[in-house]
Amino acid sequence: MRIVNKKALHNYHILEKIEAGIVLSGSEVKSIRSSRLDLGESYVRILNGEVFLINANIPRYQQASDKEYQATHSRKLLLHKSQINSLIGKVSGKAVSLVPVSIYEKNNRFKVEVGLARSKKEFDKRKIIKERDHARRVEQELRGKE
């Protein structure tokens, strides 16, 4: 199971990807396993030498007893200190940011794929859409002739 942040792939050029663990509660794990997760407006921040996933929307699990649950609270990401220092160096002073690209399960643990991203310009987005439409038309014509 892999939940992909399509909005990030549309709005950013992903320069580099890093795999990170994530701290979740049991009800959040069950909610993610039922594919109830939205990464559309989420981003990653480095605060006080720790990495956090901010604004990821994981709705409350239906059978959970948590009444005071906040769906978009910050969640800590698990990285080595050397990886965090490397990210700090790459992000500081440059026009790049950290965005979650996808969340997936690996060996019964959830991992977040964090991307070092540079924002796309509007003409880049139009170019990609145009190429995709052209490829779709070519494929339809090939299918129609068979």
Q: Residues 113-143: pLDDT tens digits?
A: 999 988 887 777 788 888 889 999 999 988 8
Domains of the chain: 2-119 (2.40.280.10)
The rounded mean pLDDT for the chain is 86
- Provide the pLDDT for residue 18: 92
- Provide the pLDDT for residue 144: 79
Within 10 A of 33 (CB to CB), how many other CB atoms are there? 13
- Provide the pLDDT for residue 145: 63
pLDDT-based confidence at residue 61 (cuts at 50, 70, 90): confident
pLDDT at 64 over 70: yes
Beta strand 2-4 with 12-22 is: unpaired
What value does the mean pLDDT take over residues 19-45?
87
Residue 117: which residues within 8 A CB-CB, separation 6 or more?
Answer: 8, 12, 13, 14, 15, 96, 97, 98, 99
**High-pLDDT (> 90) share of the chain, %:** 32
- Provide the pLDDT for residue 146: 55
